[in-house]
Amino acid sequence: MTPREARSLIRTGRWEGWTVYKLPGYVQCNLVLLPQADAYDFLVYCQRNPKPCPLLEVTDPGDPEPRRLAPGADLRTDQSSYNVFRHGELVERRQDIRALWRPDLVAFLIGSSLSFDALLERTGIPLSREVWVLRTAVATVPAGRFRGPLVVTMRWMTPAQAILATQLTARFPAVHGAPIHVGDPAAIGADLAHPLNGSPVERIPDGVMPVFWACGVTPQEAARQARPEFMLSHTSGHGFLTDVPTESLSFS
């Protein structure tokens, strides 16, 4: 299946479940949509926090087409699940935002670590049992009203796999790059008993260690603090499927 075919299934309500581990080899994006009045501060926030917010495309206000990453796609219908925030509170989840569209909305497409799972697997690193999403005690750099904790994804692997995964993902800053931490979750204040996404973890199994990458859910936490009048985002585990092969974004 091509990303274009997958987006067509999503648009017509025939897609089921997450995009995690789907469409291997293509860049998946985290999505943030904001009114233009908040777009400048959010752009600066992304610039100051490139690990959680590697910005791959910014649309012109009101334009629902991501012309560079997925020409012909429609950001109002082609995402498998959207979060709707009002004044920073998550008020609903939707599969279609046409009724909420506004001419002043700017879309921010942020590279997702879901993009590199297929690359890890190709090097012989088995897929992590789950991809957990966790809030940390690490502060991001504020910009305007946007500020808040770094959110991370966590994967489990052996120490040798962690080294290989570090080497590999370092080549892809556009989808979060190298890990921000490896080992003890407490060192970054990650609470495994209360993940934002994924099952609570009682203990880490013998032989594997947790590896943490900056996560594109971070701006949703920042929005809780900035309380913008209106904001839309992807739902965790649901990436926007682009036409861009992840390998094409390799920096070396």
In the complex, the residues that contact its own copies under the rule CB under 8 A are 39-40, 43-44, 47-48, 55, 57-58, 68, 141, 143, 167, 170-171, 173, 177-178, 251-252
Q: How far is the CB of 39 from its own copies (least distance, A)?
A: 7
Q: How far is the CB of 206 from its own copies (least distance, A)?
A: 31
Q: How far is the CB of 35 from its own copies (least distance, A)?
A: 13
Nearer to its own copies, 48 or 194 (CB): 48
Q: Cα torsion at 151, 157, 159, 165 (round to 10°)? A: -70
Coil, strand or helix at 192 = coil
Alpha helices in 97-158 (DSSP H): 117-122
Nearer to its own copies, 236 or 246 (CB): 246
Q: How far apart are CA 8 and CA 22, in angstroms?
A: 15
Nearer to its own copies, 2 or 47 (CB): 47
Q: How far apart are CA 103 and CA 119, in angstroms?
A: 38
Nearer to its own copies, 17 or 72 (CB): 72
Q: How far is the CB of 43 from its own copies (least distance, A)?
A: 5
Q: How far is the CB of 187 from its own copies (least distance, A)?
A: 21
Nearer to its own copies, 43 or 151 (CB): 43
Coil, strand or helix at 138 = strand
Count Cβ neighbours within 10 Å for each residue of 178-217 and write b for 16 or more, e otherwise.
Answer: bbbbbeebeebebebeebbbbeebeeeeeebbbbbbbbbb
